Structure 1
């Protein structure tokens, strides 16, 4: 995908999300003028960008969508459920077209039928019926002056510009003519072009250059084309156009959605004040054809920085100007234009757009650095050598590791922004009224985690709307507000993020769950009767288990919740359910902020070394307080009983021992510098070598799993790169992945939840 197409797709995808949310706001309050303006502005920009890129199918369809929106904005059409459904269908069609452009560069979707329905709604106020009112329609040509398209619109815009500019020529200061413009054919028109704030300065400038080349041929810009395409200008730049009328230049450039405003005059005429043309509306229509030629001579220079990187749906980093931080003295024409390119410095560049593949490659290199650091330390320990340089390397590697991890973090909004439309559509299908809110959408998580969690969150939201929230009639009969409430929240807790989906619906009936479990053969009658209500709620994660009375298109087939739990566990997280019958249900995810590089404690089990994630460990102690109750081994801690799992027996029976390394690694100091409770307890427990006659107990944190793991010895602690299991070993109970140590040994990392 070329850089311009990638940038168009990225901006279009953001615009589609904004348009969905703006339409939701308009549907909630049809009198919200700000929401109406947002809807129209985003639709107008999408249409204009498509026209500038040459995607006429998208532009023409966007034109029909925009005309209907303008009829609503002008008060000619009311916001009705039928109209909103049609608008949302239109947004979905645009999304499908943009997806095709991203995949192939071409549009195959035929929107003719929907376009005709949009026109029909615009003209008659309904589809397939008589006029909604008697006093005329809001046709495509008269739907509002601010959205009028075609050549006449351009003329009107130019006339408006002339009206605004007449008598104001003294306000347009024409800079000295640059050397490159000396050979331009007269008359020379000067244009002060303002792009304004933009996330894609280089791309927007390139589209303006293409329009100049297509319409006027010869022109000179300050800064030069290469600098402009690199985004090296401060929201505005100067253009000198050969043999051109300022009014025509104002009309042509003012029609571009990339241009916020343009002021024009003849070179040398600013003192007379008679030929100034200006367009400050910022809302000129993009359908005035610009004759864009992607192969234009002035559009050829390469965009060397992040504008070349393909935009991705994960939103690799913050939206930012795609700029190169290097000096570009040759790109400036050296005039007194006031564009400040000579003083351009890297300090003014706040962020850049980076291809997500480059971030992943950097992250992979950091993983290799961590492994090499461990190997080097172990070799020095074997030689009984000390090195201050290695300690310094540890600090630098840790800082680089933290930076690389932070670069992979993206806001939760990258996923959650599409959920309001999802909830709206489902509630409409089910004839339910739902108030949906999102909190904490600025919380950041690892890109991989967010990508994997999108589908589980969609499934949980579907369940909340379908199973959780009752119908308006049922809610009123129960004394509730007929409008249900669903809340999605994300909150950072140290190195984890808590994501909750809560509803105020009917909740889960634990007795009904028990009966379902028995009827479907999930549990025996004796087992479910002995279960606490909190344990009963976890039955919803059993494969094939469902409380739905009937299967719907939304949910109820008994698939999905087991996948939700599996996905959370694969990400080294957890999921739980809390419910209050008649009051509502909350599904809570606990997920790590980042993945891959973790701190583990190594233990010896029958001569084989295994790793246990430090974050799962509550404490380490000698195994001299093990009791036997009803034939089961337990250990007591603050009045709680922890069942004892003997790893030697469990791993041998499970066949997982083959994944471990050979003999346990030699003891060594904790290079990670951890000072939490688990690290302190582990250090004290291994003071005498970590081995006792009865072995050692590793007590797991209660919120993870209330068990204590028995091993022969506790070895050391290290940060390692954990690789997930692939192929036949994928999904092996008790194993979360493997780690390659510095000496080349492969150590299995245990999954304490499924062990």
Structure 2
């Protein structure tokens, strides 16, 4: 596709989305003059762009749409359901023609019949006479609307917009000055010059492990030092996201670079202790909340003080600060000479290619560092490469992020068409459409979200008559929300419909042979709701064109899991149902902890880990091994035995409850450990919201960012494995899926 056609298609797709939403606003309030102006403006732009590109068929059809809209705007025609159906059908036709232009460059659709009906509506106010025959012809089928939605969007458009400007929040200088404190008593004997370092770890899942790795780096790179609080307290995680370090006979810049290169360190500020007593300040880099782009201090005084930010956009700020300073006057003069281009359109294939190169760079960086470590070599250049590679990685990943609105903008039209087809009244709300996710995740999640929305409208919301009998308002409510939560995005589809009846679900499960009568009677309601994800399971009393065929919710869960996410259902009979997705913001490059299991290295995603501790508190209860945390019991899974028995196959592909394998693993462990109590090895406790278990391994090795490749072919979907990572020495390490293990 040439650049002019690609630009036309991209702008036309955006215009179609805007036109759909503006028509929905007009349908909701025919007196909304602003909505009417938006509709007319977008339609006029589409028509003009098509004419400029030489697509006369699209332009002529757009002219018929524009004339009908002008008649509505002038008050000659009223906004009726028949008129709105005709307009929406016209938008669908324009979308189909634009899709053909994107694919072949030509238009094969013949819109003459619909164009005639548009002209008839403009002249007579109806189609086919007063009996409204034309209304049946022009009604938009919900499934057709869904197909039209699927044809558009990111896949066909093939463009992603990358901003050339920095985040305005990141561009502000929010540096905070701190003073170098006096030496504590414990550091009085340190040799001069003494360097003070303010080390910030930030919010960490394993604060003690992160601090221990910093102490290990201090032992290896410097001589004597003192920390406040002391090493034992740090290793126990007893500090509030930051701590002080006093290093003997050192240089501030060297300390900053040495500790700043550690991935555990969010930011570090250093300075000579005697300088601090004179009242001089050091710039302290502040990191954005939850690891997002933040702000760093810029000042570094004559080599005696340094500020180094680690992670995210801070790295880019530090690595490129001097270049920014040198070019600031030139950029200002350039911007004064004319309007500066603020953004560019980039083909998604180019973004994906860049991301692939960054993945290779990350792997090569890990390989180089491991080779140097094997020779006990130190390299400041490698530390600088680490920072630049991390910055490039963050930038490339941010370029793949697109707002949730890229998908959600088509949903109001979808809900409108389905509700109209079913004779229901629905108020549809969207919140958080500015939340950003990886393009791949949004692309994969579009169809599951469509299916869940269709279910909410078809099965969830009752008819106006049924709602009035139940004491509800005739108009039902469906709400779609997206919210950022650290490195995940929570997407919810909630309705105030009839909800799910757990007893009905139990009966269906027994009737369809999904579960036995004894099994469903023993289930809590929360477990019963998960039955809707079983293949072929459906609560619909009859099959409709919208849903009820029992071929969708299992695919919804599979898609979420393939994206390293999850989906759950909550419901209250008579009150409504909520389907919640928990998805990662980005994919591919993740931070993992490496553990040793019988001499083999495995990776566990850091985001799944709550705590790491020695295996000296393992107990045996009813023949199973457990470890206590506060008031909760965590079953112990011995990785050595679970992985030796075929790698997490204890649960089995056909086992709906992967935790059933815990007991088997515990029994096997108890049989080989003299009562199931051991003080050897390490326990990795998994976050409760992910899975309430503790994984036993021989040793915890290290943590590192790696490129995770999903399993393909026969290995795809293997329980217990989420993918593989290539390490610096060329070894391939399996990354564990703690949910299905």
Alignment match, 1:731? 717
- Is the contact made by 1:543 and 1:562 (CA closer than 8 Å) also made in structure 2? yes
CA distance in 2, matches of 1:86, 1:347: 42
Aligned: 1:364 with 2:350: no
Note the C-alpha offset of 1:346.
8.9
Q: SS of the counterpart of 1:127? A: coil
Q: SS of the counterpart of 1:728? A: helix
Aligned: 1:488 with 2:480: yes
- Is the contact made by 1:635 and 1:643 (CA closer than 8 Å) also made in structure 2? yes
Q: SS of the counterpart of 1:449? A: helix
- Is the contact made by 1:68 and 1:119 (CA closer than 8 Å) also made in structure 2? yes
Note the C-alpha offset of 1:70.
1.2
Q: Map of 1:206-245 to 2, 5 A cutoff?
A: none
- Aligned positions, number: 526
Note the C-alpha offset of 1:319.
8.0
CA distance in 2, matches of 1:656, 1:346: 62
Aligned: 1:123 with 2:115: no
Which of the residues 355, 359, 370 maps onto 1:378?
370
Note the C-alpha offset of 1:628.
3.0
Note the C-alpha offset of 1:8.
0.7
- Is the contact made by 1:15 and 1:42 (CA closer than 8 Å) also made in structure 2? yes
CA distance in 2, matches of 1:85, 1:318: 36
Alignment match, 1:612? 604
- Is the contact made by 1:312 and 1:356 (CA closer than 8 Å) also made in structure 2? no
Q: SS of the counterpart of 1:732? A: coil
What's the TM-score once normalised by structure 1's chain length? 0.67
Cα 1:547–1:31 change in 2 (3 A) is same
CA distance in 1, matches of 2:684, 2:333: 62
CA distance in 1, matches of 2:497, 2:455: 11
Q: Map of 1:562-641 to 2, 5 A cutoff?
A: 562-641=554-633
Aligned: 1:716 with 2:702: yes
Note the C-alpha offset of 1:625.
2.6
Alignment match, 2:738? 752
Alignment match, 1:100? 100
Q: SS of the counterpart of 2:35? A: helix
- Is the contact made by 1:10 and 1:311 (CA closer than 8 Å) also made in structure 2? no
Note the C-alpha offset of 1:425.
0.5
Cα 1:614–1:580 change in 2 (3 A) is same
CA distance in 2, matches of 1:345, 1:361: 34
Cα 1:636–1:526 change in 2 (3 A) is farther
CA distance in 2, matches of 1:730, 1:42: 45
- Is the contact made by 1:409 and 1:445 (CA closer than 8 Å) also made in structure 2? yes
Note the C-alpha offset of 1:432.
0.4
Aligned: 1:696 with 2:682: yes
Note the C-alpha offset of 1:392.
2.1
- Is the contact made by 1:7 and 1:311 (CA closer than 8 Å) also made in structure 2? no
Aligned: 1:91 with 2:77: no
Q: Map of 1:287-302 to 2, 5 A cutoff?
A: none
CA distance in 2, matches of 1:629, 1:563: 38
Q: Deviations over 1:476-531 (max 9, x none)?
A: 11111100001111111121111111111111112221222222222222222222
Q: SS of the counterpart of 1:441? A: coil
Q: Deviations over 1:643-683 (max 9, x none)?
A: 222223322333579xxxxxxxxxxxxxxxxxxxxxxxxxx
Q: Deviations over 1:227-279 (max 9, x none)?
A: xxxxxxxxxxxxxxxxxxxxxxxxxxxxxxxxxxxxxxxxxxxxxxxxxxxxx
- Is the contact made by 2:462 and 2:498 (CA closer than 8 Å) also made in structure 1? yes
Note the C-alpha offset of 1:549.
1.0
Cα 1:516–1:633 change in 2 (3 A) is farther
- Is the contact made by 2:43 and 2:65 (CA closer than 8 Å) also made in structure 1? yes
Q: Deviations over 1:419-475 (max 9, x none)?
A: 000000010111000000111111111111111111111111111111111111111
Cα 1:320–1:103 change in 2 (3 A) is farther
- Is the contact made by 1:314 and 1:447 (CA closer than 8 Å) also made in structure 2? no
Which of the residues 440, 450, 475 maps onto 2:432?
440
Alignment match, 2:18? 18
The structure with the larger Rg is 1
CA distance in 2, matches of 1:430, 1:100: 30
Relative to structure 2, which stretch is displaced further, 450-459 or 392-401? 392-401
Alignment match, 1:53? 53
Cα 1:401–1:347 change in 2 (3 A) is farther
- Is the contact made by 2:415 and 2:453 (CA closer than 8 Å) also made in structure 1? yes
- Is the contact made by 2:159 and 2:345 (CA closer than 8 Å) also made in structure 1? no
- Is the contact made by 1:542 and 1:561 (CA closer than 8 Å) also made in structure 2? yes
Note the C-alpha offset of 1:344.
6.6
CA distance in 2, matches of 1:342, 1:566: 52
Cα 1:311–1:51 change in 2 (3 A) is farther
Q: SS of the counterpart of 2:95? A: helix
CA distance in 2, matches of 1:414, 1:315: 12
Q: Deviations over 1:74-114 (max 9, x none)?
A: 11111111111111011000000000000000001111111
Alignment match, 1:251? none
Cα 1:426–1:354 change in 2 (3 A) is same
- Is the contact made by 2:608 and 2:690 (CA closer than 8 Å) also made in structure 1? yes
Relative to structure 2, which stretch is displaced further, 2-11 or 388-397? 388-397
Q: Deviations over 1:283-321 (max 9, x none)?
A: xxxxxxxxxxxxxxxxxxxxxxxxxxx996364115899
- Is the contact made by 1:320 and 1:352 (CA closer than 8 Å) also made in structure 2? yes
CA distance in 1, matches of 2:118, 2:406: 30
Relative to structure 2, which stretch is displaced further, 569-578 or 423-432? 569-578
Note the C-alpha offset of 1:345.
5.8
Aligned: 1:79 with 2:65: no
Which of the residues 506, 526, 547 maps onto 2:498?
506
Alignment match, 2:471? 479
CA distance in 2, matches of 1:75, 1:746: 70
Aligned: 1:555 with 2:541: no
Alignment match, 2:303? none
Note the C-alpha offset of 1:634.
2.3
Which of the residues 160, 165, 185 maps onto 1:316?
160
Instruction: Flag structure 2 segments of 5+ consecutive residues without an equivalent.
Output: 133-153, 166-331, 650-677
CA distance in 1, matches of 2:378, 2:61: 70
Cα 1:320–1:482 change in 2 (3 A) is farther
Which of the residues 521, 529, 532 maps onto 1:537?
529
Q: SS of the counterpart of 1:550? A: coil
Q: SS of the counterpart of 2:717? A: coil
Q: Deviations over 1:567-609 (max 9, x none)?
A: 1111111111111111111111111111111111112222221
Relative to structure 2, which stretch is displaced further, 726-735 or 622-631? 622-631
Alignment match, 1:64? 64
Note the C-alpha offset of 1:619.
1.0
